């Protein structure tokens, strides 16, 4: 279920992208399509939202987004480098201007001392510009972690739009 905050963020992002003529894609792991769902819940989203990649497995990250199997083998799937590779891979694989990549551990199992449950890495790439990264550790059950990730990832996408606008002369 999309929170009220996520719905508002999705609406604002889509309006801003529509006004700028930008297209968006998402590459999701721990959220399993919830970010795409939040964006496409907004009427008229098809003018902006191009596609979503649900790359839950490492194989899907490699096959669909071009994430390096060596990176995944060496570092695991939950880290900054993989989040950046997912966002940049979605940008390369789709005719879009912005792409969001999200990977994390929603729980209740799967965590470790190094990568605890609730740890999420998010990255947002923009064609012709850099990639922003954010990491967070959310608390609560699986649903709470996933909902918080959706909201935070949408904020990162909005911030990527704002950062690009500030860089324009």
At 1, the pLDDT band (50, 70, 90 cuts) reads low
With CA atoms as reference, report the closest residue to 35 among 160, 169, 152, 165: 152
**Residue 147 in domain:** yes
- Helix (H) / strand (E) element for 73: namely helix 69-75
Instruction: Note down the domain range covering 124.
Output: 4-164
CATH number at residue 12: 3.90.950.20
**Residue 42 in domain:** yes
Q: Per the structure, how many domains does the chain have?
A: 1
**Residue 169 in domain:** no
**Residue 61 in domain:** yes
What digits encode the pLDDT tens for the residues 61-109? 999 999 999 999 999 999 999 999 999 999 999 999 999 999 999 999 9
């Amino acid at each position: 279920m999309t929170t009220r905050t996520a719905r508002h963020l999705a609406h604002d992002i889509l309006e801003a992208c529509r006004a700028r003529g930008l297209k968006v894609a998402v590459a999701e792991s721990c959220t399993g399509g919830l970010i795409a769902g939040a964006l496409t819940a907004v009427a008229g989203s098809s003018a902006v939202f191009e596609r979503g990649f649900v790359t839950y497995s490492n194989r899907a990250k490699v096959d669909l987004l071009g994430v390096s199997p060596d990176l995944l083998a060496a570092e695991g799937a939950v880290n900054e480098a993989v989040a950046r590779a997912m966002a940049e891979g979605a940008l390369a694989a789709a005719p879009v201007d912005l792409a969001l990549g999200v990977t994390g551990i929603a729980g209740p199992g799967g965590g470790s001392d190094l990568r605890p449950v609730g740890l999420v890495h998010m990255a947002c790439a923009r064609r012709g510009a850099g990639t922003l990264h954010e990491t967070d550790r959310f608390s609560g059950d699986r649903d709470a972690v996933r909902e918080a990730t959706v909201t935070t990832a949408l904020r990162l996408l909005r911030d990527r739009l704002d950062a690009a606008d500030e860089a324009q002369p």
